[in-house]
Structure 1
Amino acid sequence: MATAVAGTVFIAAGAFWLSFTALADLARRSGVDAGQAWAWPLIVDGIIVVATVAVVALAGQRSAWYPWALLAAGAVVSVTANAIHAVVAADADVPGVLAASVAAVPPLVLLAITHLTVILTRPIPAPVPEASREPGEETATVAQPPVPVGREVAVLLREEEGWSNKQIARHLGVHPSTVGRWFARSALTDPDTEETT
């Protein structure tokens, strides 16, 4: 895992540098002062990095559309600007399409490798101990959520910390409806919640 993360960071740094130098040069050629031209690639490619982290962090939430929009816009601007720079700065004997295609690779790699790095560095949920499984769970697949332990943790988080179902679900890596079912099931089996006649 450490090797994979180190590799992705190294590739991302290389892609960022190639894109950075091309965009800074394009900014200078477009009339931006040489002392300020470095800020333009930071803005353009920086939004790709930040939006990618936000997309992964907000995965499955309704508000994730905004970082997705920023990510798409940043990628389009970066790829287009890199391609334009290549066409403007390329030697006369290099076809414009070839120069633009080569220049488009670094921002696309930056986009892909940043997303991969964020995924690789996300914490992996701990497996459910065998002793804590409910009867009949022996044949359950690994992909199923840790219901027994999860339910106990969910109850603690709700009663002691006052967390909402959505916060608990995000913390445990399950869908909010799963947390809702846990509490509904607890209410049905809790003798304190039964109506007295």
Structure 2
Amino acid sequence: MSPVVATAIAGTVVIAAGAFWLSFTSLTDLARRSGIAPSRAWVWPLIVDGIIVVATVAVVALSSSSDPHATWYPWSLLASGAAVSVAANALHAVIAADADVPALVAASVASVPPVVLLAITHLTVHLTRNADVAREPDVSGSPAPSDAISVDTGPVDQRAEAEQLRLDGMSNRAIARHLGVHPSTVGRWLAPIDASTTATAAIPSKEQR
């Protein structure tokens, strides 16, 4: 993972934690004011904002599915959870706001954390997913970098050395590590030797006839 992607992921996690905490405290107080016991009021914001996080991860995870309806249910949960969280945060701000602060302003400020939580969770999942894809090597196209290096550093000498090491009983993988080339390169070099060895083994000796 590159430093830029790592920094971006760390930043999104910090912002998501801050947005979750602000929304969590507001919803906990609203639950307490609504009659839920203080010892259990903290569970309500976990349910509301937890749906946003889980549904966002599910939407991204199912986005590559061949079924066009695979993300319908996660999107429904995501929209419902976000709507409830934004409305509850805004309602709490109206109830608990100071008298000199307009209710509309208080509601607008309080609705920012759940919206940011929704956006930043989606961004974090995309960053981690694309970073994992970028780390996966593409072996379907161009040859391995070690092949290009071996061309510039004397492939004839390396091939001769590989043949000698094979005759000494060393495996292709061990030869590749020893010479610093890809195992497929060693396989191509030693293909004639392997073919001749196989043909020799297939010819029965005089004692077997």
Is 1:72 aligned to residue 84 of structure 2? no
Q: Percent identity?
A: 70
Question: Quick check: 1:110 aligned with 2:110?
Answer: no
**Structure (1 or 2) with the larger CA radius of gyration:** 2
2:14 is equivalent to residue 10 of structure 1: yes
Large movers: runs of 4+ above 4 Å: none
TM-score by length of 1: 0.65
1:88 aligns with 2:75: no
Write the distance in 2 (CA, Å) between the matches of 1:57 and 1:97. Answer: 37
1:68 CA displacement: 0.4
Q: Give, as a single letter, the amino acid of the residue that structure 2 aligns with 1:97.
A: L
1:60 Cα deviation after fit: 4.2
Once the 2 structures are TM-superposed, how far is the Cα of residue 63 of structure 1 from its aligned partner? Answer: 1.7
User: 2:191 — aligned with what?
Assistant: none
- 55-64 or 85-94: which moved more? 55-64
Q: Which whole-Å CA distance do the structure 2 matches of 1:5 and 1:129 have between them?
A: 30
Q: Which runs of 5+ in 1 are unaligned?
A: 133-197
- Aligned equivalent of 1:189: none
Query: Pairwise mapping of residues 132-143 of structure 1 onto structure 2 (< 5 A)?
Result: none
Report what 2:137 is aligned to: 126
2:104 aligned partner, one-letter code: V
* Unaligned ranges ≥5, structure 2: 145-209
Alignment of 1:139-158 (within 5 A): none
Paired residue for 2:25?
Answer: 21
Structure 1 residue 65: deviation in Å? 0.5
Matched with 2:166 is: none
How many residue pairs match? The answer is 132
RMSD: 1.3
Distance 2:96 2:64 in 1: 42
What are the Cα deviations for residues 47-69 of structure 1, in whole angstroms up to 9, with x where unaligned? Answer: 00000000000004322101000
* Residue matched to 2:53: 49
- The TM-score normalised by the length of structure 2 is 0.61
Question: Quick check: 1:34 aligned with 2:41?
Answer: no
Return the offset for 1:129. Answer: 3.8
